[in-house]
Amino acid sequence: MKSSIRAKIFKKSATLSGFERAGLHPYNPFIILQRLPQPRSCDPHTPSPVKVPKAPPTPHTARRTIIQAFKLSVRVKHNKPIHAHVLHKFLKGATAQRAAGAKAKEDLRDIFKAVNERQARQKPDRRVVQSGGTIYRFRGLGICS
């Protein structure tokens, strides 16, 4: 690209007209023209590689899964193609999220079960401890009446 710009700018006629417009009239303009580099042909360059659409990363959180599902639904709505590797990564992430959610529910159920069992063990068994020994509540009420 630089070579083509140089070839357009450094022409003999452009240099001479530039001197005239600027008011510079060298005694011998051909000395300057001889020192200008000759334009070279365009250097061949390798074409840039074709850009393959980058697949989004596998979603590892519920929020990323929802965002990716929304983007996929927009592509479907606008009849744009969905590549297999993009869909595979989404399904892989969604499956992992489902498994993690099921495991979290199971763990939560186990925690609540353990809490309820502990609370049941800690409930008073209707006994009141006094300095004279153990008296059951129903007997204590009979004594007071």
The single-letter DSSP state of residue 80 is -
Q: Name the residue ranges covered by the structural domains of the chain.
A: 2-35, 62-121
More confident residue, 81 or 52: 81
Residue 111: per-residue pLDDT: 95
User: Taking the model in full, what pTM does it have?
Assistant: 0.42
Q: pLDDT digit string (tens) for 29-72?
A: 666 667 666 666 666 777 788 776 677 788 888 888 888 888 88
59: burial class by Cβ within 10 Å (0-12, 13-18, 19+)? buried
- Confidence band of 108 (pLDDT split at 50, 70, 90): very high
User: Of 63, 136, 120, whose CA–CA distance to 93 is shortest?
Assistant: 63
Q: By percentage, how much of the chain surpasses pLDDT 70?
A: 66
For residues 87 and 97, give the distance between their C-alpha atoms in angstroms, rounded to a whole number: 15
Residue 40: per-residue pLDDT: 66
More confident residue, 127 or 66: 66
